[in-house]
């Protein structure tokens, strides 16, 4: 029996890895994409298979439309698409906006926002009951930076994630009658490689819960939104940020 496919972009580490492993435990065939770390992606696939799950990996830079097309072509070979989690994203470094190059700004928007639009479009074309699909779930990863603004850190990253917040609400309303739920998870500081070494420890005392979150805590929220327990939840954003 062919399993439904659970597609996770940026699934080779951190939050994406936690989501992928959780989805495999729920019985999906998990397809993870990775931009450049083939060894890390294969490690996730191997770990899932060692637990008795099914998983595959595909190289795809989600800032490139042709790579997104290849990613979905691979998903089509595996089975019907049940869920898309658009997790992959980049900060583009740290600093004031005045110091940033055109290339850096364009790259962040391409990966974090344009890629999310294109991937969501492709998922809808496969899931929509209006187009012959069986419905499904799209879950977009935002960031608390979208409402905090990230001044003097990466306002361009915050702006890209603000676009994700708007996309979640608008798209949920657009495809709600087509069997597709669209939701968002917005993490706060999470213990992943996206942060510079030592940063999370240095800000722990400023956080309401006095600690950073863990990738699995984000994954648990994602899996709730993908499940039947969230059957009437769409257009929502869940903050996994310890009250930040």
Residues noted as catalytic: 157
Separation in Å, CA 39 to CA 8, 26, 34, 216: 17, 24, 10, 21
Tell me the pairing of strands 81-86 and 54-59: unpaired
Q: Residue 91: phi, psi to the nearest 5?
A: -90, -30
- Which secondary structure element, helix H or strand E, spans residue 239, and what is its range? strand 237-240
Name the 3-class secondary structure at 31: strand
Can you say whether the dihedral through the CA atoms of 173, 171, 127, 216 is positive or negative? negative
Separation in Å, CA 38 to CA 56, 58, 214: 12, 9, 23
Tell me the pairing of strands 180-187 and 237-240: parallel
Q: How far apart are CA 196 and CA 42, in angstroms?
A: 25
Are 192 and 215 in contact by the 8 Å Cβ rule? The answer is yes
Non-local (6+) Cβ contacts of 79 within 8 A are 2, 3, 4, 5, 29
């Amino acid at each position: 029996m062919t399993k439904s496919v659970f597609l996770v972009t940026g699934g080779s580490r951190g939050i994406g890895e936690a989501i992928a492993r959780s989805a495999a435990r729920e019985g999906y065939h998990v397809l993870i994409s990775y931009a450049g770390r083939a060894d890390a992606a294969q490690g996730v696939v191997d770990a899932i298979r060692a637990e008795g799950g099914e998983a595959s990996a595909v190289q795809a830079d989600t800032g490139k439309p042709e790579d997104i097309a290849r990613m979905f072509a691979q998903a089509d070979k595996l089975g019907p698409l049940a869920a898309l989690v658009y997790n992959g994203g980049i900060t583009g470094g740290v600093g004031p906006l005045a110091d940033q190059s055109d290339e850096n700004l364009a790259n962040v928007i391409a990966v974090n926002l344009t890629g999310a639009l294109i991937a969501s479009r492709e998922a809808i074309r496969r899931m929509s009951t209006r187009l012959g699909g069986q419905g499904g779930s799209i879950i977009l990863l935002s960031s608390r930076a979208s409402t905090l603004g990230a001044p003097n850190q990466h306002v361009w990253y915050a702006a890209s994630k603000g676009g994700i917040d708007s996309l979640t609400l608008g798209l949920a309303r657009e495809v709600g009658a087509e069997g597709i739920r669209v939701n968002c998870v917005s993490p706060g500081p999470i213990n992943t490689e996206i942060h510079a070494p030592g940063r999370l420890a240095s800000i722990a005392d400023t956080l309401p819960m006095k600690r950073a979150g863990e990738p699995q805590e984000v994954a648990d929220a994602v899996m709730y939104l993908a499940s039947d327990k969230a059957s009437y939840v769409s257009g929502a954003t869940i903050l996994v940020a310890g009250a930040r």
